[in-house]
Amino acid sequence: MRFLHRRPHLEFQEASELEGPLLEVEDLHTSFASPRGPVRAVDGVSFSVDRGRTLGIVGESGSGKTVLVRSVMGLLPPNVAERSGHVRLSGHEISSLSASEMRDVWGNQIALVFQDPMTALNPVVRIGRQITESLRLRAGLDRKAARETAIALLESVGLPSPARRLRAYPHELSGGMRQRVMIAIALACGPRLLLADEPTTGLDVTLQAQILDLLGSLQRERSMAMILVTHDLAVVAGRTDEVAVMYAGRIVEHASTRVLFSRTRMPYTEALLRSIPRLSQPSHSRLRAIPGRPPDLSVRSPGCAFAPRCPYVQERCRRESPPLRTAGPGHKFACWYPVGSSEGDEALASNLEARVPAALTFAGRPELRAGVVSASKSGAG
Amino acid sequence: MAGSGTAHLRSGDALLRADHLVVEFASRKHRVQAVSDVSFDVLRGETLGLVGESGCGKSTTGRAVALVQPLVSGSVLLDGENMAEVSQKDLRRARTRVQMVFQDPISSLNPRRRVLDSVMEPLAVWHSGTKPERRRKAIEGLESVGIDPEQTARRRPTELSGGQCQRVSIARALMLEPELLICDEPVSALDVSVQAQILNLLHDLKDERGLTMLFIAHDLAVVKNVSDRIAVMYLGKLCEVAPPEALYLHPAHPYTAALLAAVPDPDPETQVPSVPLVGDLPSPTDPPSGCRFRTRCPLAAERCAEEEPQMREVAPGHFVACHFALEPLQPAGTGVSRSQAP
């Protein structure tokens, strides 16, 4: 209860009074200590999110997207070897704040919906207390008001008979209901920015659609900004304003959602898009899988991190790491031989001629499975 | 929905024929009928996709077919042989004809054993060949699923990625050359990029070995990619059985239409469809009377509460259990119109 009367460290202005983006992340680096040297999970990431807008962050497992979210939140485990860069919320630098100072930010300003609601909720505490906790501590509501607000929150996330559910334990709820409870907790103190880290992974497609619809409508009602983190480009397609694609700790392409899908530049984005099974494809059509797997982040190689798996790869890609270039308004990408350019077309054609396995897979030629193995060998570093 | 009946069973010689399967789980208070009168068949070399939400009984159906889940009633016929009549003594041998691949690739391998030992295990159990022969066969098995044995055979599952573990599980399942491979959500724990690799691998294996598969998943886009025929399951019953193209182009059951609409489309120009399906699956301890889907169905009428719909053919090879099957010209995910059952 001692936080109740604690003076806030930070004064945040009303959103409407502010100019500039709500969240600015600049050159963020986070690495972890490991026996094989530092693992660079986030390696120089910059982006910004405006008020009321939705940014999708997409990448495979191990691309650093979860660490990025946790770095923004200031929720990192103690074995962080290095953390640098800036995170500004409404103009305030929050990356240097201590945990006790961050309490003014968590919940009130930024809230997080975790990936796995079963492990994120406390299994031995009733749902009601888990929601009212922050209402009483942060918003300073009394017991009765907190309870009423909690019921209203559960109602707004579409939980049936909310008053009765307050007395339930997490294990008594289904996976979809638990994720709704997680969202209710995140929304309790009216955050301006909601971070949703794989909020629908592990849920059925029907529940996934329900939860994404719910997040979208809550966001519009509350004019919140949202960052939707996922491994599936199909999830962000219809539900975000902008998308950033991450690979090996870096943003490799960033554009408005329409542009990203219609004028894809980065071969990795293209490969991710092509690997999704679509209902419109005839059955038994061969999927364009990306050979190999993401690189080991503890090994720093000089060139582009995607080079070992890339169908467009050239000598230069293995030597020099491509910088983030601008392709149009708000569209940035990191590639020497971008998709849809004459250099890119030539690179792909020469790779097909040289029978580079990644290019053959890409072109849908019957690849040798041994080719996949050798690509994964080099991919693993 | 979800109705009973056997109109969709084919007369020819199916490799697998499941007849009126009923599986119950009982606790002190409740009896749950997880699978309630489900019948289907799979022809030799065919892949049947079984699709439905969590809790609909699709995994239990798979386990019943694999003879690891006792049946309350019904029968599993493998190549015409009734597995219920196989003596306890011969049952272990009979089980080798059906093998399974599970959802969570990492926990389905023993973390303390090396990959090669896990793959050799089925052969060791049956004392098949000498140890060097078993080893050679396991190495070949790993190679056939795209795992480099030199690099990986001595490793333990924790050192591998999810996709690699799933490849190892598939190699292990194929060691005894089963006639039927049951894949229970084999890709739902994997990233989309890795998912594509595993689906392609299953295609290749099917082509090379003429595998017969029962492929269980909740994502219709995935199921459509691998299946020759799809069965949609809801709350312990089948709703619709059809070839993939027909199911996608003309879903006849409102539940199928809802499942199709829920698949996210990787194209920002498509309108995100509002999901017609609301709420969770009803409790299987107390299923709705009549049609089990009626509590969430946009077409539900009085008749649905009173009378359980039976499987009927709406187009050649396309079967549905619904009183008000959608007009078989509706494209996926669009509005629903009513056509009275004949």
State the best of B164, B192, B205, B239 to mutate against chain A, taking most chain A CBs within 10 Å. Answer: B192
Task: Tell me which chain A residues have a C-beta less than 8 angstroms from the C-beta of B200.
Answer: 286-287, 289
**Amino acid, res. B191:** D
Query: What count of other Cβ atoms lies within 10 Å of the Cβ of residue A36?
Result: 10
State the best of A60, A208, A287 to mutate against chain B, taking most chain B CBs within 10 Å. Answer: A287
- Pairing type for strands B212-217 and B47-51 reads parallel
Would you put residue A128 in left (φ > 0), alpha (ψ -120 to 50) or beta? Answer: alpha
CA angle, A181 then B218 then A180, to 5°: 5
For A219-249, how does the pLDDT look when each residue is reduced to its tens digit (9 = 90+)?
A: 999 889 999 999 999 999 989 999 999 999 9
Q: Is B218 in CB contact (< 8 Å) with chain A?
A: yes
Distance CA A163, CA B237 (A): 33
**What pLDDT, on the 0 to 100 scale, is given for residue B86?**
86
DSSP string, A19-69: -S-SEEEEEEEEEE--TTS-EEEEEEEEEEE-TT-EEEEE--TTSSHHHHH
Give the range among A326-340, B183-197, B319-333 with minimum mean pLDDT: B319-333
Specify if B113 maps to a domain. yes
- Name which of A60, A237, A293 is nearest B265 (Cβ-Cβ): A237
Give the three-state DSSP class for A149: helix
Give the three-state DSSP class for A273: helix
For B116-172, how does the pLDDT look when each residue is reduced to its tens digit (9 = 90+)?
A: 999 999 999 998 889 999 999 999 999 999 898 988 899 999 888 888 999 999 999
**What pLDDT, on the 0 to 100 scale, is given for residue B333?**
42
Nearest-CA neighbor of A56 among A154, A248, A163, A198? A198
Q: Provide the pLDDT confidence category of residue B253 given band limits of 50, 70 and 90.
A: very high
Q: Provide the pLDDT confidence category of residue B274 given band limits of 50, 70 and 90.
A: low
- Pairing type for strands B98-101 and B180-184 reads parallel
Distance CA A49, CA A46 (A): 11
Specify if A286 maps to a domain. no
**What CATH number did the domain enclosing B186 receive?**
3.40.50.300
Average pLDDT over every residue of B302-311: 92
Residues 6+ apart with CB under 8 A from A293: A60, A62, A309, A376, A379, A380, B161, B163, B194
Specify if B164 maps to a domain. yes
Specify if B283 maps to a domain. no
**What pLDDT, on the 0 to 100 scale, is given for residue A131?**
93
Q: Is B166 in CB contact (< 8 Å) with chain A?
A: no
CA angle, B273 then A216 then A332, to 5°: 95
Specify if A99 maps to a domain. no
Residue pair B44/B213 in contact (Cβ under 8 Å)? The answer is no
Q: Say what the ipTM of the complex is.
A: 0.82
Give the mean pLDDT per block of 10 residues along chain A (381 residues): 50 62 95 88 94 94 90 86 91 89 89 85 93 87 93 89 91 87 92 93 84 91 93 91 96 96 94 91 88 84 92 94 93 95 93 88 60 40 31
Residue pair A99/A28 in contact (Cβ under 8 Å)? The answer is no
What is the average pLDDT score of chain B?
Answer: 87
Instruction: Name the domain count of chain A.
Output: 1
Q: Is B150 in CB contact (< 8 Å) with chain A?
A: no
What are the tokens at B61?
Answer: 């159906």
Specify if A160 maps to a domain. yes
Residues 6+ apart with CB under 8 A from A331: A254, A255, A256, A259, A260, A263, A265
H/E stretch holding A196 reads strand A193-197
Per-residue burial over B145-164, b = 16 or more CB atoms within 10 Å of its CB, e = otherwise = bbbbbeebbeeebeebbbbb
Closest Cα in chain A, distance from residue B120 (Å): 21
* Inter-chain residue contact B163 with A293, CB threshold 8 Å: yes
Residue pair B34/B23 in contact (Cβ under 8 Å)? The answer is yes
H/E stretch holding A254 reads strand A250-256
Q: Is B285 in CB contact (< 8 Å) with chain A?
A: no
Specify if B228 maps to a domain. yes
For B60-115, how does the pLDDT look when each residue is reduced to its tens digit (9 = 90+)?
A: 999 999 988 989 999 999 988 898 888 888 888 888 999 999 988 888 899 999 99
What are the tokens at A224?
Answer: 């919140």
Query: For a pLDDT cut of 90, what percent of chain A falls above it?
Result: 54
Instruction: Name the domain count of chain B.
Output: 1
Specify if A133 maps to a domain. yes
Residue pair B36/B22 in contact (Cβ under 8 Å)? The answer is yes
Give the domain range for residue A139.
124-182
User: Which range has highest mean pLDDT (A8-17, A35-44, B38-47, B322-331)?
Assistant: B38-47
**What pLDDT, on the 0 to 100 scale, is given for residue B2?**
54
Specify if A177 maps to a domain. yes
Which residue on chain B is closest to A63 by alpha carbon?
A: B191
B342, burial (CB in 10 Å: exposed 0-12, middle 13-18, buried 19+): exposed
> Maximum distance among all alpha carbons in chain A?
73
Specify if B261 maps to a domain. no
Closest Cα in chain B, distance from residue A235 (Å): 6
Residue pair B216/A273 in contact (Cβ under 8 Å)? The answer is no
Distance CA B324, CA B332 (A): 17
Angle between helices A127-137 and A143-156 (to 10 degrees): 120
Specify if B31 maps to a domain. yes
Give the three-state DSSP class for A308: helix
Specify if B332 maps to a domain. no
Tokens 């050679």, residue?
B136
Beta bridge partners of A54: A226
Task: Tell me which chain B residues have a C-beta less than 8 angstroms from the C-beta of A233.
Answer: 192, 266
Q: Provide the pLDDT confidence category of residue B338 given band limits of 50, 70 and 90.
A: very low
Q: CA B292 → CA B232, B279, B321, distances in Å?
A: 13, 14, 11
Query: What count of other Cβ atoms lies within 10 Å of the Cβ of residue B335?
Result: 10
* Inter-chain residue contact B264 with A238, CB threshold 8 Å: yes
Specify if B42 maps to a domain. yes
**What pLDDT, on the 0 to 100 scale, is given for residue A11?**
64
- Tell me, letter by letter, the H, E, C secondary structure of chain B: CCEECCCCCCCCCEEEEEEEEEEEEECCCCEEEEEEEEEEEEECCCEEEEECCCCCCHHHHHHHHCCCCCCCEEEEEECCEEHHHCCHHHHHHHHCCEEEECCCCCCCCCCCCCHHHHHHHHHHHCCCCCHHHHHHHHHHHHHHCCCCHHHHCCCCHHHCCHHHHHHHHHHHHHCCCCCEEEEECCCCCCCHHHHHHHHHHHHHHHHHHCCEEEEEECCHHHHHHHCCEEEEEECCEEEEEECHHHHHHCCCCHHHHHHHHHCCCCCCCCCCCCCCCCCCCCCCCCCCCCCCCHHHCCCCCHHHHHCCCECEEEECCEEECCCCCCCCCCCCCCCCCCCCCC
* Inter-chain residue contact A237 with B274, CB threshold 8 Å: no
Give the domain range for residue B241.
14-248
**What pLDDT, on the 0 to 100 scale, is given for residue A70?**
92
What are the tokens at B310?
Answer: 């039976």
**What pLDDT, on the 0 to 100 scale, is given for residue A365?**
60
Specify if A67 maps to a domain. no
Closest Cα in chain A, distance from residue B13 (Å): 24
Distance CA A349, CA A367 (A): 16
More confident: B227 or B331: B227
